[in-house]
């Protein structure tokens, strides 16, 4: 089954062709980082304009690299949410038109299901574990969630961030430290060689947040990063000398990054204790962070759990994961194609009893 996938939920314009659920023939991504860098974050209007301009060439290139003729396609898949409305609109309009033009079914895919499925695109994923119950950490610039996996698909949401996503916290922290955008790689690079224990930053949802609404999720499986960003802001007001690149900045960046990673690991550990998964998985843009990978590895080893990380090329937003997820049956066919609506806000259902 050959599927053309399209992904424009935020600031990456991507098209891909998957041949079945495990083989991605092409995965073309145009990242808009350079266009958003002057603003220190993603500007929706800049993103939408870029998608319109870039998408035709990206689709043509994906089809060329896959050596897949239009007649050889079996379906068209697209991320219909969650994401930026003006960005989603472009990819969804294109996908609808491709489906109408080719007479192939249109499949709507939840962006996070795509990320979740990306861990199964690792050729080294052990066969016996594909149907097993796992625990996944989805961590990116827009999302931070703990999800239970069963039979290769989402079984339920266990926890999620109540405010900023982890990647967003890294972006905002990087901005406060003057490190530029995107923040995750900038913080990671600056933190190299820094003392991770030099500064004590909060790990989120401390004792003062007992009554924070958690949307039906267990509070101890939820994340909060807004206090971390504020703590950094106040720290810098009192200690501006820590922005000195030669002296304080590496320690500051390392301590800040450690707080983000620790907050993630603590919830993963709790969720693993509760759900007793057969394997641990991590996907999303922040899954490329080396410190996070290292600490996840340490925890997985101590717990005796296989750790499955999304291949780096499928960590950032990409259409390969969308096309493959659709081929694996994770999406929803929409008939007629024109009926598909974008869903900028599309929360995952909370697992009952979690």
Partner 1 sequence: MRVLGIELSSPRGSVALLRDDEVVREIVWDEAPRDSRRAFDALATILREGGVAAADIDLFAAGRGPGNYSGMRVALTAAMALAMPGGRPFHAVDSGAALADAVFQETAADDVLVAGDARRGRCWHASFHRAHDGSAVAVTPWALCDAADLAARVHPAGVGASSDWERLAAAASLPGARGAWIERSVHPSAAAVARRALARWRAGEPSEPLTPLYLHPPVAAAACDARIAAAPGTA
Q: Which of 106, 149 has the CB closer to partner 1?
A: 106
Residues 93 and 48 sit within 8 Å (Cβ to Cβ) = no
- Closest C-alpha among 230, 101, 220 to residue 164: 230
Distance CA 278, CA 273 (A): 12
Distance CA 256, CA 172 (A): 11
Q: Which of 176, 296 has the CB closer to partner 1?
A: 176
Q: Which of 96, 148 has the CB closer to partner 1?
A: 96
Least separation in angstroms between CB 197 and partner 1: 22
Distance CA 228, CA 225 (A): 5
* Binding to partner 1 in span 48-87, by CB under 8 A: 48-49, 52-53, 55-56, 59-60, 70, 86
Contacts of 230 (CB under 8 A, 6+ apart): none
* Binding to partner 1 in span 203-242, by CB under 8 A: 233, 236
- Closest C-alpha among 82, 79, 131 to residue 348: 82
Least separation in angstroms between CB 292 and partner 1: 24
Q: Which of 1, 22, 43, 153 binds partner 1 (CB under 8 A)?
A: 43
Q: Which of 89, 129 has the CB closer to partner 1?
A: 89
Sign of CA dihedral 197, 198, 199, 200: positive
Kindly state whether residue 45 participates in binding partner 1, applying the rule CB under 8 A: yes
Q: Which of 301, 339 has the CB closer to partner 1?
A: 339
Distance CA 32, CA 11 (A): 6
Q: Which of 89, 137 has the CB closer to partner 1?
A: 89
Q: Which of 132, 231, 243, 265 binds partner 1 (CB under 8 A)?
A: 243
Contacts of 89 (CB under 8 A, 6+ apart): 48, 342
Q: Which of 17, 90, 109, 319 binds partner 1 (CB under 8 A)?
A: 90
Q: Which of 163, 242 has the CB closer to partner 1?
A: 242
Interface characters, 159-178, with partner 1 (x: CB under 8 A):
----------------xxxx
E strands, 122-166, are 134-139, 144-150, 153-160
Cα radius of gyration (the chain): 20
Q: Tell me which residues touch partner 1 (CB under 8 A).
A: 38-40, 43, 45-46, 48-49, 52-53, 55-56, 59-60, 70, 86, 89-90, 93-98, 100-103, 175-179, 233, 236, 243, 336-339, 341
């Amino acid at each position: 089954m050959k599927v053309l996938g399209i992904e424009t939920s935020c600031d990456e314009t991507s098209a891909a062709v998957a041949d079945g659920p495990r083989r991605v023939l092409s995965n073309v991504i145009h990242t808009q980082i350079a266009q958003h860098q002057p603003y220190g974050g993603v500007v929706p209007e800049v993103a939408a304009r870029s998608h319109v301009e870039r998408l035709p060439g990206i689709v043509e290139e994906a089809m060329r690299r896959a050596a897949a003729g239009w007649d050889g396609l079996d379906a068209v898949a697209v991320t219909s949410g969650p994401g930026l409305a003006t960005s989603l609109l472009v990819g969804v309009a294109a996908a609808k038109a491709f489906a109408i033009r080719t007479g192939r079914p249109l499949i709507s895919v939840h962006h996070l299901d795509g990320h979740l499925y990306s861990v199964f695109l690792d050729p080294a994923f052990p066969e016996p574990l594909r149907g097993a119950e796992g625990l996944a950490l989805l961590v990116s610039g827009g999302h931070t969630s703990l999800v239970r996996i069963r039979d290769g698909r989402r079984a339920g949401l266990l926890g999620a961030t109540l405010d900023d996503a982890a990647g967003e916290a890294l972006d905002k922290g990087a901005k406060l430290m003057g490190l530029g955008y995107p923040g995750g790689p900038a913080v990671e690079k600056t933190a190299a060689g820094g003392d991770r224990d030099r500064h004590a930053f909060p790990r989120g949802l401390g004792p003062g947040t007992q009554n924070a609404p958690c949307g039906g999720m267990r509070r101890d499986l939820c994340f909060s990063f807004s206090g971390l960003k504020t703590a950094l802001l106040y720290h810098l007001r009192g200690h501006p000398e820590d922005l000195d690149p030669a002296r304080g900045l590496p320690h500051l960046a390392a301590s800040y990054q450690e707080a983000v990673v620790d907050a993630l690991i603590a919830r993963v550990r709790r969720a693993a204790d509760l759900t007793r998964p057969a394997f641990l998985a991590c996907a999303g843009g922040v899954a490329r962070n080396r410190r996070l990978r290292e600490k996840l590895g340490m925890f997985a080893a101590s717990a005796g759990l296989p750790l499955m990380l999304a291949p780096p090329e499928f960590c950032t937003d990409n259409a390969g994961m969308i096309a493959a997820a659709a081929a694996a049956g994770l999406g929803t066919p929409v008939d007629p194609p024109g009926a598909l609506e974008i869903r900028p806000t599309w929360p995952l259902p909370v697992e009952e009893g979690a």
